[in-house]
Amino acid sequence: MNARIFAGAVLAYGYNHWVGNFPSRRVREIYLRGWLGKLGAKSGVQMGCRFLNGRKVFLGERNVINFGCLFDGRKFSIRTGSNVSIGPEATILTLGHDPRSATFADRGGDVVIGDRVWIGYRAIVLPGVTIGEGAVIGAGSVVTKDVQPYAIVAGNPARKIGERSIGKTESGNAEPMPAGAGWEDCLRQPSGQDERERTSQKLKSECGNFEGIFPDGRGFDYELDYQPWLL
């Protein structure tokens, strides 16, 4: 084992077993900014997440990575866009084995996740997949192939079950989502019923109807909602 591989193993062990379970967002952020390929501004990684090779993980701005997620990063990279939300215990893989190979040879590829993608609880994204802007991945889905922008997919293997109308022109072509519409709006913590209702209406007008994803029209952040002492 050369020095570079050993150093990488030490960094991975340090985060996955110690720092990643430390109840301080600031401490985790400092470590990840020095280890990951990129940690975008205003992005947060909750406790219990694991990175097999942080140097090949590139997280965009305003990402929410919920607790217990696994990011592979072995040999191939993982890149996320802006305003991405990844649900608890989701898994993003970049390396596996060829089932048709007599020796189960390695097979993998880069994973690219576009802007404003929402990946549900315990979903699995397999190597080489690209998820287009604004797509929604249902909870527990296994994504084996590319997902088109604004598509809603679910199942094992994941199949298209719907499509988001937000960001579409009359011709059916994708257009940029409205300025200011992003997951940072969805992650606000309304302080009262009136503000909560205003936030819900704002989300529906700018981000589309999130009912069924965000039951009361706001974002779900496990640490913000249930563990405020971790902030």
pLDDT digits (tens, 9 = 90+) for 182-197: 444 444 444 455 655 6
**3-state SS class at 120:** coil
| Degrees, nearest 5: CA angle 103-69-206 | 125
Residue 165 pLDDT: 81
**Residue 40 scores a pLDDT above 80:** yes
Query: Would you tell me how many other CB atoms lie within 10 Å of the CB of residue 139?
Result: 14
What does the alpha-carbon distance between residue 224 and residue 109 come to, in Å, rounded to a whole number? 34
**3-state SS class at 18:** coil
Mean pLDDT in residue range 80-105: 95
Sequence-ordered list of residues with C-beta below 8 angstroms from that of 28, at least 6 positions apart, any chain? 19, 20, 22, 45, 47
**Residue 122 scores a pLDDT above 70:** yes
Q: What is the pTM of this model?
A: 0.75
Q: Which residue has the tokens 């893989």?
A: 93
**Residue 215 scores a pLDDT above 50:** no
Query: Would you tell me how many other CB atoms lie within 10 Å of the CB of residue 41?
Result: 9
What does the alpha-carbon distance between residue 81 and residue 47 come to, in Å, rounded to a whole number? 21
| Degrees, nearest 5: CA angle 36-77-106 | 130
Catalytic residues: 97
Residue 206 pLDDT: 45
**3-state SS class at 24:** coil
**Residue 172 scores a pLDDT above 60:** no
Mean pLDDT in residue range 123-147: 97
Share of the chain above pLDDT 70, in %: 71
What does the alpha-carbon distance between residue 18 and residue 36 come to, in Å, rounded to a whole number? 16
The mean of the pLDDT values for the chain is 82
Q: How confident is the model at residue 200 (pLDDT cuts 50, 70, 90)?
A: low
Instruction: Give the range among 31-40, 164-173, 218-227 with minimum mean pLDDT.
Output: 218-227
Asked whether the beta carbons of 57 and 76 are under 8 A apart, the reply is no
